[in-house]
Structures are given as structure tokens and as C-alpha cells.
């Protein structure tokens, strides 16, 4: 198991890993690659990082906005992770990774997400993603966040 400190894991822009997903070797690189691809809303880069039958656990409160729990399958998870729900403006997402903890099968990343909502309002929230990886791909993901902050901002983009 290892822990990365804030300086080493600060990611807010395109990574060299993004250019060639086949280079992903370590759990840290896998997390870096998926966060960069998510920030870019790049489904073509997210998809090969996920197992075909990936399972993604959104917070239970996300069901309020019509999300199912869990979300199952590569296509559905790619849509969720790359802005298909329209909650955030493309090109405005940045991540500040605070901690990264990994072992042979799991990676936990604690980070701050900053972006603009679809309605143009600033969004900042703390997250923790936990990934179970198998054969270099994400097989399962859990998303933890301050749901009160998230729901407050999400209601701004609901009809």
C-alpha cells in the first residue's frame, strides 16, 4: 500500500498518460488517466479504462435526480463520467488530488473538484472515489461527496 502526497498528485491539466492509454501501468496512473479523461469529457479515453461490466456506485442521494444505483455497464458509466447528464459545463473541470492510497486491488483518491455548473455557477466540492481494478481496468467505482453541496448546485440545472 502507498500514499501519495498533495504535491505529487496535483492534477488539473492534460497528462501525458492521456495521449496513450495503453501506458497505464500503476494504480496511480489509472486514476490520473480517468480523472484527466473525465475533465476533458473524453468518452473515447474513459471507455478503455473500464471493464465492460463495470459497476459504479453513485451516492444514494443521486437517485433524486433519476440516477440508478448502481450504474452498470461501460456505456452507462462512460455517459455518467463524461458529462452526459449535463450538470457541468465542458472544459471547466479541474481536480486537485489531496491523497491517493492504493493496494493490489483498490485505489482511493480524495480530491477537490472545481468547475462551472451548466447554469454557469461556480462549483467546488470535496470527493473521494474508490476504485476496484482488475487487469489494469476499473471494475467497480464508489463515489463519495458532500451531497448537500452537490444537490444545491444540481438543483440549479434541473427543469
Dump the DSSP string for 71-110. Answer: EESHHHHHHHHTTTT--B-TT--EEEEEEEEE-SSEEEEE
Domain hosting residue 116, numbered range:
2-154
Dihedral through CA 128, CA 32, CA 133, CA 142, nearest 10?
Answer: 20
Question: Is residue 49 assigned to a domain?
Answer: yes
Q: What is the CATH number of the domain that holds 46?
A: 3.10.450.50
Give mean pLDDT, residues 144-157.
61
Question: Is residue 64 assigned to a domain?
Answer: yes
Residue 132's φ and ψ, nearest 5 degrees, are -105, 125
Question: Is residue 137 assigned to a domain?
Answer: yes
Beta-ladder partners of 143: 129
Q: How far apart are CA 139 and CA 86, in angstroms?
A: 24
Question: Is residue 147 assigned to a domain?
Answer: yes
SS3 at position 26: coil
Question: Is residue 105 assigned to a domain?
Answer: yes
* Complete edge-to-edge strand list for the sheet that includes strand 94-102: 2-4, 94-102, 106-116, 122-134, 137-145, 50-57, 71-72
Looking at residue 37, what is its pLDDT?
94
Write out 141-154 in H/E/C secondary structure.
EEEEECHHHHHHHH
Residue 138 belongs to what H/E stretch? strand 137-145
Looking at residue 47, what is its pLDDT?
96
Looking at residue 67, what is its pLDDT?
86
pTM of the model: 0.77
Give pLDDT tens digits for 16-41: 443 434 445 688 889 899 999 999 99
Question: Is residue 59 assigned to a domain?
Answer: yes
Question: Is residue 159 assigned to a domain?
Answer: no
Give pLDDT tens digits for 46-101: 999 999 999 999 988 888 878 899 999 999 999 999 987 778 888 899 999 999 99
Question: Is residue 138 assigned to a domain?
Answer: yes
Provide the number of structural domains found in the chain.
1
Amino acid at each position: 500500500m502507498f500514499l501519495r502526497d498533495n504535491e505529487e498528485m496535483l492534477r488539473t491539466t492534460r497528462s501525458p498518460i492521456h495521449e496513450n492509454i495503453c501506458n497505464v501501468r500503476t494504480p496511480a496512473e489509472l486514476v490520473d488517466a480517468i480523472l484527466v479523461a473525465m475533465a476533458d469529457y473524453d468518452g473515447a479515453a474513459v471507455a478503455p479504462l473500464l471493464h465492460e461490466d463495470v459497476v459504479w456506485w453513485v451516492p444514494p442521494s443521486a437517485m433524486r435526480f433519476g440516477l440508478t444505483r448502481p450504474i452498470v455497464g461501460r456505456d452507462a458509466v462512460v455517459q455518467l463520467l463524461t458529462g452526459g447528464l449535463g450538470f457541468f459545463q465542458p472544459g471547466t473541470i479541474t481536480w486537485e488530488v489531496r491523497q491517493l492510497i492504493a493496494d493490489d486491488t483498490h485505489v482511493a483518491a480524495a480530491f477537490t473538484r472545481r468547475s462551472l455548473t451548466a447554469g454557469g455557477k461556480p462549483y467546488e466540492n470535496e470527493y473521494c472515489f474508490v476504485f476496484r481494478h482488475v487487469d489494469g481496468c476499473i471494475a467497480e467505482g464508489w463515489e463519495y461527496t458532500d451531497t448537500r453541496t452537490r444537490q444545491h448546485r444540481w438543483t440549479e440545472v434541473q427543469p
